[in-house]
Structure formats: structure tokens, C-alpha cells
Amino acid sequence: MTIKVRFFAQFRELFGTDILTDAPPDGMFISLIAGIAHSNPEGYNAIFDKNGAFLEFVILMKNGKRIDNSDAAATTVADDDDIAVFPPVAGG
């Protein structure tokens, strides 16, 4: 249980707050988030498109650094990583 995943805004309602978890077997960022998201179909569809890629507006952070969505499929995770996933809110 060494990776912390934090969801914010509406994603927090879908998945809860801070989640502590192990790295996925393949060590990939996208597998980590997909593994959590599969527990909630509504939540999964709020983060991933029908091809299993991150929706373009979802903001992904690893250890305080943004991960470009196009790089997410090639990004790895490791012990002690701090991951943040959230949608920008848009209302005014």
C-alpha cells in the first residue's frame, strides 16, 4: 500500500478521497487508475474514453508534476508516488 492516489472535485464523489494502493503488476500509471476506476462504471466513464484512454480534459499529476494525457500510457508509477486525478470545474 505505497502509492497515494488523490481524487478531487466530482471524482472524489465517485471514488472517495485519498486511496492508498500497491503498484499494478505492469507498473503503469494508466493501469493504476483504471484498476481503481473499474470499481465504479460511472466513475470509469468520467475518466476514460471508450478506447480506454484518459479523456483529454482530465488532469493527471504525479508527484506534483502534470502528466500530459498523451504521455499517460507510457508513464510508470513506483512506491511512494503521490498521484492526483481531477476534472477541471467549469462553471461560473
Partner 1 sequence: MLSPRERGRYMRQLELLDDEGQERLKAAHIFIGGAGGLGSPVAIYLAAAGIGTITIVDRDMVDQTNLNRQILHVDRDIGRDKTASAEEHLRAINPDITVRAINATIRRENAADLVGSANGIVDAMDNFGTRYLLNDIALAHRIPFFHGAVHGFYGQATTIIPDTTACLRCIVPAAPPKETTQVIGATAGVIGSLQATEVIKYLTGRGRLLANRLVLWDGMQAKADEIVVERNPDCPACGDRSPHKRRHT
In the complex, the residues that contact partner 1 under the rule CB under 8 A are 6, 8-10, 12-13, 17, 56-57, 59, 61, 64-66, 68-69, 84, 86-92
Q: For residue 23, is it left (φ>0), alpha (ψ between -120 and 50) or beta?
A: beta
Backbone φ, ψ for residue 68 (5° rounding)? -65, 135
In the complex, what is the shortest distance from the CB of residue 25 to partner 1, in angstroms, rounded to a whole number?
29
Cα(8)–Cα(90) distance, integer angstroms: 14
Neighbours of 6 (CB within 10 A): 17
In the complex, what is the shortest distance from the CB of residue 8 to partner 1, in angstroms, rounded to a whole number?
5
> Is the CB of 65 or the CB of 79 nearer to partner 1?
65
> Is the CB of 12 or the CB of 40 nearer to partner 1?
12
In the complex, what is the shortest distance from the CB of residue 72 to partner 1, in angstroms, rounded to a whole number?
13
